[in-house]
Amino acid sequence: MVDVDFSPYLEFVRTSPRYRETLSRYTVTDAIDMVLEAQTVVREEREGGEFREQKQRVERFPVLEGLQKYASNHVLLLGKPGSGKSTTLKRLLLEMANLSPQPPLLRGEGEQDLSALSGGEGELDLSALLRGNLSPQPPLLRGEGELDLSPSPLRRGVWGEVKIPVFLQLKSNRPILEAIRAEFRQGKLSVTTEQIDNWLLEGKLFLLLDGVNEIPSKELRDKLEDFRNDNPHTPMIFTTRDLAVGGDLGIEKKLEMTPLTDTQMREFVGKYLPEYGDLLLRQLENRLREVAETPLLLKMLCEVFDPQTQRIPRSKGELFRAFDDSCQSRKQDVKVSEDFWEWKSELLEHLGFMMLQGHLDKPTEKWLTISKEKAAKLLEGLLTHRVNAPGDKAKKFIKDLLNTQFLQVAADRREIEFHHQLFQEYYAAEALLIMVENRHPDVIDDGRLQHFFLNYLKWTEPVALMLALLKDEVQAVRVVRLALAVDLQLGARLAGEVKPKFQVQTVGMVSGLEIPEWFKVRLLKYATPLDKSESNTTIKSQLSCRENVDNHSIKPGFRSSPKYGEVCRLIEDPKPKVLWNAMSDLERYGGVEDIPILLNLIDSPDPDVRWGVAHGLLFIGDCSATSGLLRLLQDDSDDVRNSAAIVLGKIRDESSIDGLIDFLKKPSNDIARANQLRRSGASALADIGSQRAVNSLLSLLEDSNESVRWYAVDALGDIGDKDAVIGLIKRLRDCSSNIRSKAAYTLGFIADEAVVPELISYLQYVSGTSDDECWSVINALGEIGSKKAIPELHRFLAKSSGYLKEEAIFALGKIGDESVIPDLIYILKTSNLDSTGTAIKILGKMQSEPAIPYFFDILENDPYLRSRNDIAGILGDFQRECVAHILPNLLALIPTESGQDALGAISGIQENCQFYNYEIFTARLPPVVSPQQLTENQVLNELQQINQGVQKMSETPKQDFTGATFSGHVNFAPNQGSQDVTKIGTQNNYATDPKITEALKNITQLLEKLHQQNPQASDIEILDILTKGFQTMPQNNPKQWQSWKNLLSILYAGGMEAVKMFLPAAGIPIEVGRRLYEIHKHNQQLPGN
């Protein structure tokens, strides 16, 4: 590490457009006092048949602050698409890069260099894409064009030693070590995987891993989980869309991005659309309001708001379509290929669909990045028979898509990607919509729609977007009905995605299900997430009450309001009730500048007031309160001192360490309360968690007071710093067995296998003399998980009994020794609730397939809710091949007492397997039957039979087809519904020309002939046959071509637009007409024509 100069890499991070554009996006919210927030995730448990939250307090804080608090260990950040997860990681990356004494990010006196934000060829500044060229712009930056880069807690070295941050996108196919090496290489730093491995062992790197849900394969997910487990002391932050895709990798600490509140939405929209903000907010109902709770999508809503119509899109699907149209209109001045804009939508839809489909032999996986070569091949397949030199054209179109910023270069610069997974899913949804409208076999056949699309989790979002755009009520209701047959939760979700006027039927289907009432209530919440009236009431309340704020936020302008003066006056009132109300207002609305008001009350004779001061400072939370809190730490009241210690831990100011150390030594004159207060002091030092705090706690390990030593060990365990290992090993020889036992237990959570020999020696020393100490060291060996401990644990197991034997079995199971699986299963069947719960978790971690029948038995019959709840979580982590087959059995438990736990297990298994229905997944549906491969001569023969009528057009009197009707067999048109019988003569005067109607009749007959001879062919395949025949005809049969050429010249005399409006009435798909027009136009341009 010493010999490596990281300056080039850190400079790359600070200056790369890939990261720098994040600053402007992030401060979109900062500029209007709308800091993105997160909260801790608390797992639900059931009690008495109902779900309840655990009593653990849910913390809510600015997301960067939360990551700062928990980043010393592994943490998983969850959030909806567009909630700001990736932006947050990039912001954190930039913060950490600035910890190093490198050239500053700012130029001159606070002048920010924004030139890099424009991006190079093929690179997108997403914020610029979102902003487009609209004006006026919202105040994205603080002050007069300056980014707010004032020192944050992250720059003050909150992790002690400065670590090297590395940002990785997990959607790449590269192994993690290779991805890290590639990231350094982009920063002009050449390193080896061996060097990286050493840095990981030393804890020198800080990994920011974005997109667990985007990992392209289960194999890579498993490898990532192994990598995480192999590097427990390397700080890592992961992000994921939700736990339904990719799982949690076994990460215990989870933070969740909180949705934007009504207040935040109102303030953002008011800044962005000051004249129309209220009008926009009043239109946010049902699922659209859910959309607006994420910053990216709320900004898109503002972008597409039309001041003329004063309307916004009514669904997420309509929002993306409007946004796509808006982007296209703003990019018209970009230099692109001649016909790029005619193809643009089809290109993106094809790429989005094919990338989401991925490899056909790996149907649960998708491609989120793709090499430029592979993308060009996909587009070449789309363009073949439709343009000249389709391969060259495809490559040009790829460049056009990058130049117009509809695609961007991926982290691996050999690959390209959509800017956000949401956009890829939207374009795939548009492609899916065309398939439905064109009655493609894979979506019109019920079984195939379920098998190829509805059953896979990767298609759920595109199907939902497609349903929001689908205008055919029959098809929309059909899709929901089929989805309910695949999975009830899936079907309920899709029931609420169709157009509102169709939801009477779709939601009614959910309401009519014969299922337990608790399950029906849950499904109806999926289908109707927010009652329309409730939404309107909430928004209107927010609009009419401008003074309302959220409990966790500081009210803007409070100090300038009349209420502020009243609070300052009342806070001097001697009457306790008045004083408390005033302090409550200051606590709720106040800020850092109000700390002196509270500190003035420190000398109040009333201990309750002094306690209230500490409590109020907890909510304001700033280092300027430290001096006052240190005074309160010496208060006469134990309650006041306890409260002050807690608040100092939350503020995490290093200047309070010495005071907390003294407090830990002598917290109270009341011996009965001393340990309670020591616990608060030790927790405060653990919350600060700096190197200085660790060193101070290590010094307390020599204190003569056993209680002081015990709580010092406890705090060191909470911090988890490896520098404490040596001091804890020394405590294995403490004069107190309580301290020895606590030290051994704590080593299990912060040490690695280097201490295993010490622990084995200690176990041998206390074996047979102190059961408590034996239990602690055995537990520590199990937590460390080193196979070096297996022989000694087996020796101990052979001579032990009772709870020590059970603990040895648990330790061996945690290490992964499969020889104890039968013992663990025996414990599963015979022991008490606590032991059963431990065995369940260990067997689950071991992925023990023999335990699955016992797990199912517990889920079905065990009277203890806790055991069933544990099983529900464990089953979802099993390998697909081990557990997927029990999905039907779990489904059968839904009507029973175990139904809610079974549903939890079902959801977990579906998340892991990435499909909903086991029977559908294992069905072997044949692929679409391809039409017989016709030779060019066979195609020409078919065309020749039709040609005989064409040749007579100029020789025989024309019949009047004005009143004729035609029935079409196919419809490729993306925006055209089926029209079985339509009178041609009433469509357009242009169509009443008998030559035109004769031409239409011949094309219709040709299509009918092709369908008759290729009954199994799809519409697309018929189109390919037709195209191939016409493209080869001029060379292979010039005479025949001359007749068709004359016909096409008549048909397209007025251009494609003149023909397009009446093609469907003749049963001719618009796509067929377009394809024939391209052939006609191409041949007109050939020499001699």
Q: What is the pLDDT of residues 332-347, one digit of tens each?
A: 888 999 899 999 999 9
**Residue 423 confidence class, pLDDT cut points 50, 70, 90:** very high
**Has residue 669 been placed in a domain?**
no
Work out whether strand 236-240 and strand 205-210 pair parallel, antiparallel, or are unpaired: parallel
- Taking residues 163-176, report their average pLDDT: 86
Say what the pLDDT of residue 342 is. 92
Q: Is the pLDDT of residue 933 over 50?
A: no
Range name among 403-407, 428-432, 876-880 with the lowest pLDDT average: 876-880
**Has residue 399 been placed in a domain?**
yes
Work out whether strand 965-966 and strand 982-983 pair parallel, antiparallel, or are unpaired: antiparallel
Domain boundary among 534, 552, 586: 534
CATH number of the domain within which 166 lies: 3.40.50
Number of independent structural domains in the chain: 4
Dihedral (CA of 993, 998, 999, 1004) sign: positive
Distance separating alpha carbons of residues 1048 and 1066, to the nearest angstrom = 15
Query: Measuring CA to CA, how many Å separate 405 from each of 367, 418, 464, 902?
Result: 19, 9, 25, 46
Mean of per-residue pLDDT scores for the chain: 75
Distance separating alpha carbons of residues 169 and 899, to the nearest angstrom = 38
Task: Concatenate the DSSP letters of all residues of 993-1011 into one string.
Answer: SHHHHHHHHHHHHHHHHHH
Q: Is the pLDDT of residue 47 over 70?
A: no
Task: Judge if 144 and 64 occupy the same domain.
Answer: yes
Q: Is the pLDDT of residue 962 over 50?
A: no
**Residue 264 confidence class, pLDDT cut points 50, 70, 90:** confident
**Residue 553 confidence class, pLDDT cut points 50, 70, 90:** very low
Task: Judge if 408 and 491 occupy the same domain.
Answer: no
Task: Judge if 418 and 483 occupy the same domain.
Answer: no
Query: Measuring CA to CA, how many Å separate 825 from each of 624, 885, 886, 890?
Result: 56, 21, 19, 21
Domain boundary among 241, 257, 273: 257
Q: Which of 680, 707, 708, 705 is nearest to 696 (CA)?
A: 708
**Has residue 894 been placed in a domain?**
no
Task: Judge if 232 and 348 occupy the same domain.
Answer: no
Q: Determine phi and psi for 557, rounding to 5 degrees.
A: 75, 15
**Has residue 718 been placed in a domain?**
no
Q: Is the pLDDT of residue 969 over 60?
A: no
Task: Judge if 480 and 426 occupy the same domain.
Answer: no
Distance separating alpha carbons of residues 242 and 252, to the nearest angstrom = 15
Instruction: Name the most confidently modeled range: 111-125, 131-145, 873-887.
Output: 873-887
**Has residue 202 been placed in a domain?**
yes
**Has residue 736 been placed in a domain?**
no
Q: Is the pLDDT of residue 52 over 60?
A: no
Task: Judge if 47 and 117 occupy the same domain.
Answer: yes
Say what the pLDDT of residue 709 is. 93
Say what the pLDDT of residue 531 is. 43
349 or 187, greater pLDDT? 349
Task: Judge if 124 and 195 occupy the same domain.
Answer: yes
**Tens of pLDDT, residues 505-550:** 999 999 999 999 999 999 998 887 544 333 333 333 333 332 332 3
Task: Judge if 352 and 497 occupy the same domain.
Answer: no
Task: Judge if 29 and 168 occupy the same domain.
Answer: yes
Task: Judge if 405 and 493 occupy the same domain.
Answer: no
Range name among 108-112, 275-279, 640-644 with the lowest pLDDT average: 108-112
Say what the pLDDT of residue 990 is. 44
Q: Is the pLDDT of residue 589 over 60?
A: no
Q: Is the pLDDT of residue 66 over 90?
A: no
**Has residue 745 been placed in a domain?**
no
Strand ranges (E), 332-468: 370-371, 408-409, 415-417
Distance separating alpha carbons of residues 1009 and 792, to the nearest angstrom = 81
Q: Which of 451, 460, 509, 508 is nearest to 484 (CA)?
A: 509
Structure tokens belonging to residue 403: 């130049």
Say what the pLDDT of residue 988 is. 40
Provide the residue range defining the domain that includes 430: 333-446
- Taking residues 1026-1044, report their average pLDDT: 78
Task: Judge if 946 and 1072 occupy the same domain.
Answer: yes
Task: Judge if 1051 and 989 occupy the same domain.
Answer: yes
Say what the pLDDT of residue 490 is. 96
- Taking residues 110-134, report their average pLDDT: 33
Say what the pLDDT of residue 912 is. 83
389 or 1084, greater pLDDT? 389
**Residue 979 confidence class, pLDDT cut points 50, 70, 90:** very low
CB 712 within 8 A of CB 739: no
277 or 987, greater pLDDT? 277
Domain boundary among 223, 257, 291: 257
Q: Is the pLDDT of residue 299 over 60?
A: yes
Q: Determine phi and psi for 370, rounding to 5 degrees.
A: -155, 145
Element spanning 91, H or E:
helix 85-97
**Has residue 111 been placed in a domain?**
yes
**Residue 875 confidence class, pLDDT cut points 50, 70, 90:** confident
pTM beyond cutoff 0.85: no
**Residue 887 confidence class, pLDDT cut points 50, 70, 90:** very high
Task: Report helix, strand or coil for 635.
Answer: coil
* Angle of CA points 823, 824, 825, to nearest 5°: 90
* Angle of CA points 1008, 1014, 1017, to nearest 5°: 105
Dihedral (CA of 42, 44, 47, 48) sign: positive
**Tens of pLDDT, residues 670-723:** 888 888 899 999 999 988 888 899 999 999 999 999 999 999 999 999 888 888
- Taking residues 809-816, report their average pLDDT: 93
Range name among 47-51, 390-394, 1064-1068 with the lowest pLDDT average: 47-51
Q: Is the pLDDT of residue 68 over 90?
A: no
Distance separating alpha carbons of residues 616 and 599, to the nearest angstrom = 10
Cβ-based burial of 308 (10 A; exposed 0-12, middle 13-18, buried ≥19): exposed
Task: Report the share of the chain in percent with pLDDT over 90.
Answer: 28
Task: Concatenate the DSSP letters of all residues of 705-754 into one string.
Answer: -HHHHHHHHHHHHHHT-GGGHHHHHHGGG-S-HHHHHHHHHHHHHH--GG
Range name among 87-96, 411-420, 1065-1074 with the lowest pLDDT average: 1065-1074
